[in-house]
């Protein structure tokens, strides 16, 4: 904690970003956001597309939820409503993003297909918004934490997508194809990420 | 006590306000962002051109321009009636559509028009017959009880006042909202004859908890106005003189009733055997009328079959399934045409039986409903 206070502002943000993304990876260390990860990680480009969308939504909703929590819920004494409020804010924001993607990048819209609504219920996004309240963060730190968490999810799904693309499922036992082998891959990868944990305390 | 109450009130007010503000913002954003401007729909290689406001489904935009594509599920992508060929500008096939299309259809550019969003100029193919489909305002003339679960509805057409249809076709009835259930469109075959141009009659069977049938049974009143569209469907009398087997069950009576009455009226003297399946005598309707038709016309034979009639009753007709009745009357049906109408299970069983008796597959016409 002392080291944390001595470093300057931008370095702090950077450390929060790196630690949220790598040492406390939301997907590989906390196993959040699993359903959309299993669904969409078949190809690298859709993985990257969804990952980028999730990163964007996570970072923005972390900032939005920070403002909502400290400037609306706390003054009104309604902290206990944070869960439902965050869900609604995230859902509305995702709807908005869906509209924007549909209008301006029809290709991305089509490739995300029915998984777009999944962003709404992606627990990684809600998780980041809730976790950030446990830490003594200000606005920018929260934003960096959200960005880092989203980036971690992005990194994980892109890596998983890359591995799945290389796997020839023909050689797998029938029951293992699809989600089965993906879960095993995620398990092995998370072993590596558990190795990072505790390197940076935030 | 006071603080708890204030807490509850603040929380409720906060949640309501938050929902309201976000909903308003989203509606505004939708208007602003999902505005595709004017798009052109070119129909049948430029024979007809429509200018529409983009952003909605092809099905609804065509309906706006009074071109009614058949649809039973109201645009949810679950009935697959609204198939159309989209030759250009339809965008990518969505995962909702894929299960309903065969590989050949996908190649030919067939899409579910309720799932195609018009975002740019688009060209499509519509069969000519669909242009005849109109939307009608009609008044409920009567609601007559036929059996314990089937009603006869008679509508007088108000606007437009006449309809041109072929015996065997169906219309779609739009239900009104009641008790929080949404308005839906459901397909019902016409049971009256085409020569009666100002009226149509339908046989509606109560589907337990069905949105539209519950509305018809419990909420529709004689004298009220309703919305219909039609005529739809290609289940109709062929142009040949081949002998016919008709098989129906329940409200599947309607199109066959229309067809045989039409034949009697037009003096079309094709040999016709009509097998009607029901459980008990109380499920039979139009019995006297069809028996009279049988007496008056040499070519028509009516064979009701009851599958669950009590042994002790005075029923002298056939006991058993329609398929068994068919097997008892015939061993070979080479050269016959078959007209089936009923539940998918019944239609499937009849089709199998008919093929056994050498009815050619493309001579079996059916109208299936779930």
d(CA B192, CA B260): 10
Banded pLDDT at A5 (limits 50, 70, 90): low
Contact B91 A110 (CB under 8 A): yes
pLDDT more than 70, % of chain B: 99
Which pLDDT score is estimated for B291? 93
Show Cβ contacts of residue B151 under 8 Å, excluding neighbours closer than 6 positions.
B143, B144, B145, B203, B204, B206, B216, B217
Q: Quick one: tokens of B296?
A: 């008056």
- A102 contacts in chain B (CB < 8 Å): 34
Which member of A77, A88, A96 has the closest CB to residue B29? A96
What is the separation, in whole angstroms, between the first and last Cα of chain A? 8
Q: Quick one: tokens of B171?
A: 């219309």
| Stretch B39-43: mean pLDDT | 90
Contact of B16 with chain A, judged by CB distance below 8 Å, is answered with no
Strands B272-278 and B244-249: parallel
d(CA B352, CA A113): 40
- A114 contacts in chain B (CB < 8 Å): 95-96
Which pLDDT score is estimated for B256? 94
Q: Please report, for residues A37, B351, B366, the alpha-carbon distance to residue B361 in angstroms, rounded to integers and kept in the order given.
A: 47, 8, 11
Phi, psi of B267 (to 5 degrees): 55, 45
Q: How many CB pairs under 8 A join A and B?
A: 44
Domain boundaries, chain B: 38-130, 133-232, 244-368
CATH for B244-368 is 3.40.50.80
Residue B163 contacts residue B231 (beta carbons within 8 Å): yes
Q: Which of A92, A106, A117 to mutate to test the interface with B (most CBs of B within 10 A)?
A: A92
Of the given ranges (A126-135, A146-155, B2-11, B14-23), which has the lowest mean pLDDT?
B2-11
Whether the per-residue pLDDT at A9 is higher than 90: the answer is no
| Stretch B46-53: mean pLDDT | 87
How does pLDDT run across B247-290, given as a tens digit for each residue? Answer: 999 889 999 999 999 999 999 999 999 999 999 999 999 999 99
d(CA B288, CA B98): 47
Residues in chain A: 202
d(CA B30, CA A2): 48
SS3 B136: strand
SS3 A8: coil
How does pLDDT run across B287-318, given as a tens digit for each residue? Answer: 999 999 999 999 999 999 999 988 888 888 89
Contact of A110 with chain B, judged by CB distance below 8 Å, is answered with yes
| Stretch A42-70: mean pLDDT | 88
Which residue would you say has higher pLDDT here, A108 or A141?
A141
Q: At what angle do helices B322-329 and B344-356 cross, to 10 degrees?
A: 20
Alpha-carbon distance B229 to nearest alpha carbon in chain A (angstroms): 32
How does pLDDT run across B164-222, given as a tens digit for each residue? Answer: 999 999 998 988 888 888 888 888 999 999 999 999 999 999 988 888 899 999 999 99
Please state, as a whole number, how many other Cβ atoms lie within 10 Å of the Cβ of residue B170: 25
Contact of B29 with chain A, judged by CB distance below 8 Å, is answered with yes
- Locate the chain B residue with the closest alpha carbon to A90: B22
Of the given ranges (A59-63, A146-150, B96-100, B223-227), which has the lowest mean pLDDT?
B96-100
Contact B14 A84 (CB under 8 A): no
B133-232 falls under which CATH superfamily? Translation factors (2.40.30.10)
Banded pLDDT at A6 (limits 50, 70, 90): low
Q: Which of B4, B9, B11 to mutate to test the interface with A (most CBs of A within 10 A)?
A: B11
- B119 contacts in chain A (CB < 8 Å): 106
Residue B237: exposed, middle, or buried by beta-carbon count in 10 A (0-12, 13-18, 19+)? buried
Tokens 């007088």 sit on residue? B156
d(CA B191, CA B152): 9
d(CA B247, CA B341): 6
Q: In the predicted model, what is the mean pLDDT of chain A?
A: 84
Alpha-carbon distance A9 to nearest alpha carbon in chain B (angstroms): 34
Q: Which of B92, B94, B97, B98 to mutate to test the interface with A (most CBs of A within 10 A)?
A: B92
Residue B127 contacts residue B70 (beta carbons within 8 Å): no
Whether the per-residue pLDDT at B231 is higher than 70: the answer is yes
How does pLDDT run across A86-139, given as a tens digit for each residue? Answer: 999 999 988 888 888 888 877 777 766 566 677 777 889 999 999 988 888 889
Whether the per-residue pLDDT at A189 is higher than 80: the answer is yes
Please state, as a whole number, how many other Cβ atoms lie within 10 Å of the Cβ of residue B115: 22
Burial B43-72 (b: 16+ CB within 10 A, else e): beeeeeebebebbbbbbbbbbeeebbbbbb
What is the separation, in whole angstroms, between the first and last Cα of chain B? 56
Contact A106 B119 (CB under 8 A): yes
Which pLDDT score is estimated for A59? 92
- A106 contacts in chain B (CB < 8 Å): 91, 119
Residues in chain B: 370
Which member of A76, A77, A88 has the closest CB to residue B22? A88
- B26 contacts in chain A (CB < 8 Å): 92, 95-96
Which pLDDT score is estimated for A2? 45
Residue B302 contacts residue B247 (beta carbons within 8 Å): no
Residue B133 contacts residue B94 (beta carbons within 8 Å): no
- B9 contacts in chain A (CB < 8 Å): none
Contact B25 A113 (CB under 8 A): no
Classify residue B193 by its DSSP letter. -
d(CA B370, CA B260): 24
- A84 contacts in chain B (CB < 8 Å): 15
Please state, as a whole number, how many other Cβ atoms lie within 10 Å of the Cβ of residue B207: 17
Contact of A109 with chain B, judged by CB distance below 8 Å, is answered with no
Contact of A184 with chain B, judged by CB distance below 8 Å, is answered with no
Q: In the predicted model, what is the mean pLDDT of chain B?
A: 89
B38-130 falls under which CATH superfamily? Beta-grasp domain (3.10.20.30)
Q: Which helix (H) or strand (E) covers residue B8, if one does?
A: helix B2-33
- B15 contacts in chain A (CB < 8 Å): 81, 84-85
Strands B199-205 and B150-159: antiparallel
- A118 contacts in chain B (CB < 8 Å): none
Contact of A190 with chain B, judged by CB distance below 8 Å, is answered with no
């Amino acid at each position: 904690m002392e080291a944390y206070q001595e470093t300057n502002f931008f370095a702090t943000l950077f450390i929060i970003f790196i630690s949220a993304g790598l040492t406390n990876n939301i997907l590989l260390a906390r196993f959040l956001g699993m359903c959309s990860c299993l669904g969409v990680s078949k190809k690298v480009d859709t993985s990257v597309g969804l990952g980028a969308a999730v990163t964007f939504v996570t970072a923005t909703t972390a900032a939005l939820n920070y403002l909502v929590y400290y400037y609306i819920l706390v003054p009104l004494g309604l902290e206990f409503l944070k869960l439902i409020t965050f869900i609604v804010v995230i859902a509305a924001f995702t709807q908005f993003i869906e509209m924007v993607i549909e209008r301006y990048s029809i290709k991305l819209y089509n490739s995300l297909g029915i998984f777009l609504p999944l962003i709404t219920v992606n627990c990684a996004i809600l998780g980041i918004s809730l976790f950030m309240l446990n830490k003594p963060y200000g606005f920018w730190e929260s934003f960096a934490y959200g960005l880092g968490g989203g980036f971690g999810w992005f990194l994980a799904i892109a890596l998983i997508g890359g591995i799945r693309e290389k796997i020839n499922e023909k050689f797998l036992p029938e029951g293992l194809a699809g989600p089965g082998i993906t879960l095993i891959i995620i398990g092995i990868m998370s072993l590596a990420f558990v190795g990072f944990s505790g390197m940076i305390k935030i | 006590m006071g603080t708890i109450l204030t807490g509850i009130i603040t929380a409720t007010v906060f949640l309501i306000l938050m929902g309201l503000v976000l909903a308003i913002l989203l509606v505004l954003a939708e208007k602003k962002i999902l505005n595709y401007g004017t798009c052109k729909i070119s129909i049948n290689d430029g024979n007809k051109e429509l200018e529409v406001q983009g952003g909605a489904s092809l099905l609804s935009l065509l309906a706006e321009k009074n071109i009614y594509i058949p649809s039973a599920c109201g645009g949810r992508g679950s009935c697959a009636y609204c198939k159309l060929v989209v030759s250009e500008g339809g965008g990518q096939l969505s995962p909702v559509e894929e299960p309903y299309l065969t590989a050949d259809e996908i190649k030919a550019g067939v899409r579910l028009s309720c799932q195609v969003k018009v975002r740019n100029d688009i060209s499509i193919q519509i069969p000519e017959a669909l242009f005849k489909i109109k939307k009608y305002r009609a008044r409920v003339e009567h609601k007559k009880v036929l059996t314990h679960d089937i009603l006869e509805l008679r509508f007088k057409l108000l606007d437009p006042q006449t309809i041109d249809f072929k015996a065997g076709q169906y219309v779609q009835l739009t239900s009104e909202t009641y008790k929080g259930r949404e308005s839906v469109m459901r397909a019902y075959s016409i049971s009256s004859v085409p020569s009666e141009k100002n009226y149509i009659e339908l046989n509606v069977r109560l589907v337990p908890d069905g949105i539209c049938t519950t509305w018809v049974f419990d909420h529709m009143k004689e004298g009220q106005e309703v919305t219909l569209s039609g005529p739809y469907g290609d289940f109709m009398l062929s142009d040949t003189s081949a002998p016919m087997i008709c098989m129906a069950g329940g409200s599947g009576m309607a199109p066959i009733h229309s067809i045989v009455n039409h034949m009697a009226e037009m003096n079309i003297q094709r040999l016709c055997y009509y097998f009607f399946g029901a459980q008990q005598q109380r499920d039979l309707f139009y019995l006297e009328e069809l028996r009279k038709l049988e007496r008056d016309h040499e070519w028509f034979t009516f064979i009701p079959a009851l599958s669950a009639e009590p042994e002790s009753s005075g029923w002298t007709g056939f006991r058993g399934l329609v398929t068994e009745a068919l097997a008892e009357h015939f061993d070979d049906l080479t050269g016959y045409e078959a007209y089936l109408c009923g539940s998918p299970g019944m239609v499937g069983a009849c089709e199998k039986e008919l093929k056994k008796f050498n009815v050619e597959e493309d001579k079996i016409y059916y109208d299936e409903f779930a």
